[in-house]
Amino acid sequence: MQVLFGGTFDPFHNGHAAMIRTLCATFPDAQVSVIPNRLPPHRQASASAQHRLHMLSLGLPERQQIEISRIEIDRAGPSYSVRTLEDYRHTFGDREPLVLCMGADAAGKLDQWHAAARIPTLAHVCILDRDGESAVIPEFSGQLTETETAGALNEKPCGLVFRLQTPEVPVSSTQVREMIRAGVDRLPVPEPIQHYIQTHALYQDAE
């Protein structure tokens, strides 16, 4: 099973870390790919792909099951998840379960994703719900079928939606960047990332 967790990670923070811990605990036999996306060049106040990749390597736990994927960083043009899923399908074949993971906020906007209707034919979707909340996923053609057991995702390659409760870690990268500009001392990011941000004076410019 291939578990895919994409994001901007600009920067990686404690909320992302909690999500990845939950994913590794829920899918202990899966390969978990953390996939930073490509940002438009010269996006103001954001860090370069090299910095974002480096921060990921500093912040992720050392576990064999986790890998950082450059697939979207190295591909020209916008980072469409459907394109990434097609590449994974090509690499791993028709039978491999692929699990596209996202936070509740991202799941709520799933219908705005490029070629979203193709997702159920390519992968399962795993939605990480915040404590007690249940994200409403929009309707789009090619339905996803709800399942309540993580094990069910292993039994077919795609087409299911599974909800996972994660501990509430109320932080976003936007908030981290704002805290840096406001001169906050202790950031809600793993310690080595805080050090890296300071050393390289990242995120100092106005947004």
The contact set with ligand ATP (CB under 6 A) reads 7-10, 15-16, 19, 102-103, 105-106, 128, 166, 169, 171-174
Distance separating alpha carbons of residues 11 and 102, to the nearest angstrom: 17
Give least dist CB 130 to ligand ATP, A. 7
Give least dist CB 3 to ligand ATP, A. 13
| Alpha helices, DSSP H, located in 93-202 | 104-107, 119-122, 173-181, 191-199
Which among 129, 130, 117, 128 has a CA at the least distance from the CA of 158? 117
Q: What are phi and psi for residue 186, nearest 5 degrees?
A: -110, 115
Compare residues 41 and 93 and give the one whose CB is closer to ligand ATP: 41
Compare residues 95 and 132 and give the one whose CB is closer to ligand ATP: 132
Compare residues 154 and 175 and give the one whose CB is closer to ligand ATP: 175
Compare residues 39 and 160 and give the one whose CB is closer to ligand ATP: 39
**Looking up tokens 């870690």, which residue turns up?**
169
Q: What are phi and psi for residue 145, nearest 5 degrees?
A: -100, 130
